[in-house]
Chain A
Amino acid sequence: MSSNNDNSSKFSSTRRKLLMGMATLPAVPLLANTGIFSTPAFAQAPATSAVNTTGLAVTDTEVTVGILHSVTGTMAISETGSVQAEKLAIEQINAMGGVLGRKIKFIQEDGASDWPTFAEKAKKLLVNDKVAAIMGCWTSASRKAVLPVVEQYNGMLYYPTFYEGLEQSKNVIYTGQEATQQILAGLDWVNKTKGAKSFYLIGSDYIWPRTSMKIARKHIENKLAGKVVGEDYFPLGHTQFNSVINKFKLTKPDVIYAAVVGGSNVAFYKQLKAAGIDLSKQTLLTISVTEDEIDGIGGENFVNAYSCMKYFQSLDNPNNKDFVAAFKKMWGEKTVIGDVTQAAYLGPWLWKMTVEKAGSFDIDKIAEASAGIEFTKAPEGYVKIHPNHHLWSKTRVGQAQPDGQFKVVFETPELIEPDPFPKGYQ
């Protein structure tokens, strides 16, 4: 994959000299963008040597990015939606003329639900393919595996999943919510509207639920003056929840607060329903069930539960209507779109806007230019990149409907500032 090749021979020799001279001036790409040089071809596509000083896979007509998700193995269930969203965004950007006049080409690698494989494939994308950005990873474990690689080889990762926080990197843009953004507003809401004082925390046993529950417990006990009546974690893939359901019946919490993931989710809600716990009477608030998961759980088993996310497919705004229509057109009428899928869709767009603001594909310039990037056409509504590389976003609470969609019952009035290292919650 030659990247910085000499296609410039199609330019006249005078222009080539001009370009080479200008490449030394950092401001030139910006000028080119603002149209001071009005030659059309030039205004659209500044010279490769000017926008790519570090040897990335950028030619005069194309730029290559990597997509790195699991399409095989246990995580394929969740990551499929992200891959679909990223491909849709890339196609739409290309239809609009690409990035700095260059069409986006993608190389897709399979992380195969295996964290060392993720690291290896990330290295391959950065070292062999010289991709200009990677859209990828899903679980925290895969991100933690890839992080040292993107930092060592100076790549740019756009990471879509809501996650536990406690991380910040020059080389990562987190397009999902960090824990405090997702958790605090939802707890405040359930406390205020349902008068909830006692909570039962239940989650799968790994870093994200544990960190999230730690934050939730601090908030419940210190800010809401509530009480945690039980806290339970189950191994990933656990399928028997009758004992903990009996504990719900004994402790009678106002709210069951759940962060159960994967196949366990299906077992948990089916058994909850079978045990006669009626979610219209027992409030259940979860941070781990999107429209994607409901497909497997079955809408009738999850109806009336509340989910706290930044995005629901049913959001009523023009951006989202266009997005949902385009997504279904590309991937079929029956596909559903969950929170992470939407966040994955933001990745290529934010990257495109950052590149255009920086006037360069160089990683260092993108990392610097990221802060303050605004995306007004995001399906979730307006988002903006914070200097800490997370997104300002709203938090919403949706009530599950029998058809597997959510009815949005609450939305924070303002964008919530991302706070990956929350004080007083650790």
Chain B
Amino acid sequence: MFSEYSLSELSSIFLMQGFAGLILFSVFVLMALGLAIIFGQMGVINMAHGEFMILGAYVTYFTSQLFLHYIPALFGIYFFIAMILAFFASGALGMAVEWLMIRRLYKRPLDTLLATWGLSLILQQVYRSVFGPREVGVELPSWMMGSLPVTEVVEVQINGLFVMGLTIAITVAVALLMYKSAWGKQVRAVVQNRVMAGAVGINTEKIDRYTFGLGCGIAGVAGSAFTMIGSTGPTSGQLYIVDTFLVVVFGGAQSLLGTIASAFTISQAQSTMEFFLSGSMAKVLTLLGVVIILMLRPQGLFVIKVRR
């Protein structure tokens, strides 16, 4: 299939294809990180994860409108403010949901699946009633669009670079928070042994609430970033939920490293196959591969030993 192309053409295409895989990897990590915290650390199966992302996307949309109409001079930097607002909006909603619903279900982890699925339907309809059923177009500042030409054929997408940078920053922040801070130590203590953690004076309820809020907040940031590459509508969150769970479950639920490794494997496999086969076929083969590996290794790629 490549006989009619020159060597330099081919090498630059493969270079760009590699970059496309890296973008996909960043996207997967970004959308899975919030879920990995909630599912991995708390054991809550949050089916409404996509809707928390879309809340972030809507916040971004409204921030962009606000800047466009009132402070157009600062439009170039609105995206950073939007991401911060998205984090707090989704995080606050997450904490409210935890307080109203999730905390009553910690002893029944499978029921969280049903409850959060219901929540996702409710949120979708709320978005539809409040923001309208049609998708909204989020306008980007001009510096975030287009691509940087490296050679004549190789071009690097700016928004791809942006997503990558954001993913690295958030991953590092989460890792520091989880493994280097006192708060992270408390979270891990609660995960390992809730009763004992309570006995040594950790306010487990508060830890739960903030952990859930953090996961949802990161989902909000992800949703905000995805306005650059995807759609913003009441049901857009559904587009991400399958891939998100795929990454988290495949990686091994309790390990951040596993999430990253699984995102890398799936994204590279998918983008390589998409190039050589058709898009639908690539998806089928990816899912098939994941199913087979999970059959052989049900706990996922990485496992952290925890005392139950």
Asked if B177 lies at the interface with its beta carbon under 8 angstroms from chain A, I say no
Encode B3-37 as 1/0 by CB contact (under 8 A) with A: 00100010001001101100110010000000000
Q: How many angstroms between the C-alpha atoms of A292 and B133 in the bound complex?
A: 11
Find out whether the CB atom of B275 lies under 8 angstroms from the CB atom of A300. Answer: no
Interface string of A229-272 (1 = CB under 8 A from B): 00111110111101111110110000000000001011100110
Interface centre among A77, A247, A300, by most chain B C-beta atoms within 10 angstroms, is: A77
Tell me the complex Cα distance, A244–B273, Å: 11
Contact assessment for A77 and B233 in the assembled complex, using a CB-CB cutoff below 8 Å: yes
Bound CA–CA A239/B229 (angstroms): 8
Q: Is the CB of A250 within 8 A of B157?
A: no
Among residues of A, the one whose C-beta sits closest to the C-beta of B231 is: A266
Q: Are A74 and B278 in contact (CB under 8 A)?
A: no
Please judge, given known A-B contacts A235-B283, A242-B271, whether A274 and B146 are in contact too, CB under 8 Å: yes
User: Complex Cα distance A303/B275, Å?
Assistant: 27
Is A231 a contact of B278 with CB atoms below 8 Å? yes
Q: Which of B5, B149, B278 contacts A233 (CB 8 A)?
A: B278
| A183 CA / B155 CA spacing, docked (Å) | 33
Instruction: Number of A interface residues at 8 Å Cβ cutoff, please give it.
Output: 44
0/1 interface trace, chain A 292-310, chain B, CB 8 Å (1 if under): 1011111111000000000
Contact B146 A270 (CB under 8 A): no
Chain A residues within an 8 Å CB radius of B139: 298, 300
B236 lies within 8 A of chain A by Cβ: yes
In residues 271-304 of chain A, which contact B (Cβ within 8 Å)? 271, 273-276, 292, 294-301
Contact check, B279 vs A239: say whether CB atoms are below 8 A apart. no
- B44: interface (CB < 8 Å): no
The distance from the CB of B141 to the nearest CB of chain A, in whole angstroms, is 12
B20 close to A243 (CB less than 8 A): yes
Give the distance to chain A from B269, nearest Cβ to Cβ, in Å: 12
Known: A76-B234, A205-B279, A237-B238. A274 touches B157 (CB 8 A): yes
Question: Is A44 close to B, CB under 8 A?
Answer: no
In whole Å, how far is A335's beta carbon from the nearest beta carbon of chain B? 9
Given A77-B134, A240-B24, A295-B137, the answer on whether A274 and B271 have CB atoms closer than 8 Å is no
**B153 to A249, Cβ gap below 8 A?**
yes
- Is the beta-carbon distance between A270 and B13 smaller than 8 angstroms? no
* Contact call A276/B134, Cβ cutoff below 8 A: no
The answer to whether A239 touches B135, judged by C-beta atoms less than 8 angstroms apart, is: no
Which residues of B are found within 8 Å of A296, using beta-carbon distances?
A: 134-137, 231-233
CB distance from B133 to the nearest CB of A (A): 4
Question: Which partner residue on chain B sits nearest A79 by CB separation?
Answer: B133
A72, A263, A275: the one within 8 Å of B135 (CB): A263
Q: Does B230 contact A (CB under 8 A)?
A: yes
Which residues in window 203-260 of B have CB below 8 A to A?
A: 226, 228-236, 238-240
Instruction: Collect the chain B residues with CB atoms within 8 Å of residue A263's CB.
Output: 135, 230-231, 233, 235-236, 239
Cβ–Cβ contact A270 & B230, under 8 A: yes
Residues of the B chain whose Cβ atoms lie less than 8 Å from the Cβ of A80 = 132-134
B interface residues, Cβ below 8 angstroms from A: 5, 9, 13, 16-17, 19-20, 23-24, 27, 125, 128, 132-139, 145-147, 149, 153, 155, 157-160, 226, 228-236, 238-240, 270-271, 274-275, 278-280, 283
Closest 9 CB pairs of A and B: A296-B135, A266-B231, A242-B20, A298-B137, A234-B279, A243-B274, A276-B147, A76-B133, A263-B231
28 contacts between A and B (CB under 8 A): A71-B133, A73-B235, A77-B133, A205-B279, A233-B279, A234-B280, A235-B279, A235-B283, A238-B279, A238-B283, A240-B23, A242-B19, A242-B157, A242-B160, A243-B20, A244-B274, A263-B233, A266-B230, A266-B232, A270-B228, A271-B229, A273-B146, A274-B159, A274-B228, A276-B147, A294-B137, A296-B136, A296-B232
Starting from the known contacts A80-B133, A247-B275, 12 additional A-B residue pairs (CB-CB under 8 Å) come to A74-B238, A77-B233, A234-B279, A234-B283, A239-B230, A242-B24, A242-B271, A276-B146, A295-B137, A296-B134, A296-B136, A299-B137
